[in-house]
């Protein structure tokens, strides 16, 4: 299904003129016939432009290589703390081969027990890796998985964790994301800041989220259930992290949420052109507005509902998760891996909540990010208009 979203891309670079284009400029009919043109000089300038362009391209490649190395060192040394005795498996696919190679080069500086596997690209998030790859995962102490589609919730990863591996997955990762933004954060500092939130959560059970564009929603949480381990540090057996990391999240108590949520940042890894408004009643979305965007959401969740037993169809509309970002380097790109982590943003996810201990096993889970909301825990403000107060 084609989605009516705008994907954010980098700025277009002006094309480098080739010889034919430049000759076309020289031969332009708009030049007055009486004008004197030094064609010899023009050709020299053409050669100079080509030389400068080639030099810039080399510098750009060198810069990217350096940034790839820096990020790989962060993953290998800081996030996973790879040691000499570790068996390391790096799993990538054809879309992330350059990242996999860079991680391999960084890892072999710490241990010579490193294997790089390029597997076929999956078909969707949660698609199991090929059996030989899954079998290899069970023999490792460290697994790093930069892949187009997420391996986080696969049986292969769950089994590897049971067998004692520590795992870092990077679904949707690309070179631009791997060299800039959230991955370049100080994850040790993020871990400290997230840990410092513990006293703030204590005994607070009511969450209220508001924004100038219409969000006003209230719900209950179990204050003991805040997830505070998405900090990028994954240095012990059976630990799992997504990179870039940096968020705190919780299960909204089922049937407790009421109000309005206006998504103005991104939805399902796409930047939204117009706000999407969800009306919530007793923990379920009962209406979605926002033009063509809302229509596509209704269609997708409607299809998911039809795959459920009639008794449980409305559960696809469960507001399944709430969280806010803690990574000061993360950007709002239209990629859920980084959008949810941006410092000062908050997000809601609709659909399956079983991974957080809920009862809505519906096979769909899609998050939406709010850019400039305010968040209160009971009467204590923690975010005001997109800025952290703690």
Check: CB of residue 194 under 8 Å from CB of residue 382.
Answer: no
Going by pLDDT thresholds of 50, 70 and 90, the confidence category of residue 388 is very high
- Concatenating the DSSP letter of every residue in 338-387 gives HHTTBBT-EEEEEE--GGGT-S---S-EEEEEESS-EEEETTEEEEETTE
* Four-point Cα dihedral 10, 12, 14, 15, nearest 10: 100
Going by pLDDT thresholds of 50, 70 and 90, the confidence category of residue 89 is very high
Token match 């003129």: residue?
17
CATH 3.40.50, domain 67-179, yes or no: yes
The rounded distance, in Å, linking the Cα atoms of 41 and 330 is 48
Strand, helix or coil at 327?
strand
> Is residue 243 over pLDDT 80?
yes
Going by pLDDT thresholds of 50, 70 and 90, the confidence category of residue 64 is confident
The contacts of residue 82 (CB under 8 Å, 6+ apart) are 76, 88, 107, 110, 111, 142
Q: Where are the beta strands (DSSP E) in the chain?
A: 88-92, 114-118, 142-147, 166-171, 206-210, 216-220, 240-242, 247-250, 258-263, 266-267, 270-271, 276-281, 284-289, 319-325, 346-351, 365-370, 374-377, 380-384, 387-388
> Is residue 364 over pLDDT 60?
yes
What does the pLDDT read at residue 123? 82
Going by pLDDT thresholds of 50, 70 and 90, the confidence category of residue 77 is very high
Q: Could you give the angle at which helices 39-73 and 97-107 cross, rounded to 10 degrees?
A: 60
pLDDT in tens, 143-178: 999 999 888 878 899 899 999 999 999 988 999 999
> Is residue 17 over pLDDT 80?
no
pLDDT in tens, 189-215: 999 999 999 999 999 999 999 999 999
Q: What is the CA radius of gyration of the chain?
A: 25
Say which DSSP state 169 is in. E
pLDDT > 70 in the chain, percent: 85
Question: Burial of 239 by CB count in 10 Å (0-12 exposed, 13-18 middle, 19+ buried)?
Answer: middle
Question: Would you give the distance in Å from CA 377 to the centre of its chain?
Answer: 26
Strand-by-strand arrangement of the 266-267 sheet = 247-250, 319-325, 346-351, 365-370, 266-267, 270-271
pLDDT in tens, 28-37: 444 344 434 3
Query: Within 10 Å of residue 175's Cβ, how many Cβ atoms?
Result: 16
Going by pLDDT thresholds of 50, 70 and 90, the confidence category of residue 19 is very low
What does the pLDDT read at residue 16? 41
> Is residue 305 over pLDDT 90?
yes
Say which DSSP state 79 is in. I
Between 354 and 45, residue with greater pLDDT:
354
Give me the residue spans of the domains in the chain.
67-179, 185-388
Rounded to 5 degrees, φ, ψ at 80 are -105, -15
The contacts of residue 300 (CB under 8 Å, 6+ apart) are 1, 364, 366
What does the pLDDT read at residue 225? 96
Q: Mean pLDDT for the chain? A: 85
Tokens representing residue 38 in the block: 């030094």
The rounded distance, in Å, linking the Cα atoms of 373 and 385 is 5
């Amino acid at each position: 299904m084609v989605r009516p979203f705008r994907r954010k891309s980098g700025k277009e670079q002006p094309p480098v003129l080739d010889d034919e284009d430049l000759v076309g400029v020289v031969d332009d009919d708009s030049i007055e016939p009486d004008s004197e043109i030094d064609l010899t000089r023009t050709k020299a300038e053409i050669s100079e432009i080509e030389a400068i362009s080639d030099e810039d391209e080399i510098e750009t490649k060198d810069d990217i290589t350096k940034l790839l190395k820096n990020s790989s060192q962060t993953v290998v040394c800081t996030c996973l703390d790879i040691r000499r005795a570790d068996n390391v498996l790096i799993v990538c696919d054809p879309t992330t081969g350059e990242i996999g190679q860079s991680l391999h080069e960084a890892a072999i500086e710490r241990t010579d027990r490193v294997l790089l596997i390029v597997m076929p690209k999956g078909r969707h998030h949660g698609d199991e890796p090929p059996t030989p790859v899954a079998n290899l995962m069970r023999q490792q102490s460290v697994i790093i998985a930069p892949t187009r589609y997420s391996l986080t919730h696969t049986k292969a990863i769950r089994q590897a964790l049971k067998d004692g591996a520590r795992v870092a997955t990077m679904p949707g990762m690309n070179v631009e994301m791997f060299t800039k933004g959230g991955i370049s954060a100080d994850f040790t500092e993020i871990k400290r800041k997230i840990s410092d939130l513990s006293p703030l959560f204590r005994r607070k059970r009511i969450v209220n989220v508001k924004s100038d564009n219409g969000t006003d929603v209230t719900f209950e949480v179990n204050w003991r259930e805040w997830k505070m381990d998405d900090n990028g540090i994954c240095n012990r057996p059976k630990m799992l992290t997504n990179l870039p990391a940096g968020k705190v999240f919780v299960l909204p108590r089922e049937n407790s949420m009421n109000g309005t949520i206006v998504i103005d940042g991104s939805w399902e890894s796409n930047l939204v052109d117009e706000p999407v408004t969800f009306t919530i009643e007793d923990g379920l979305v009962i209406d979605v507005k926002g033009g063509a965007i809302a229509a596509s959401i209704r269609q997708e969740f409607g299809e998911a509902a039809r795959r459920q037993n009639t008794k449980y169809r409305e559960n696809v509309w469960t507001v399944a998760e709430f969280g806010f970002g803690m990574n000061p380097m993360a950007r709002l790109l239209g990629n859920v891996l980084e959008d949810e982590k941006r410092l000062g943003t908050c997000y809601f996810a609709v659909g399956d909540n079983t991974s957080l201990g809920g009862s809505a096993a519906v096979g769909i889970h899609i998050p939406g990010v709010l850019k400039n909301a305010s968040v209160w825990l009971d009467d204590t403000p923690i975010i005001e208009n997109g800025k952290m107060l703690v």
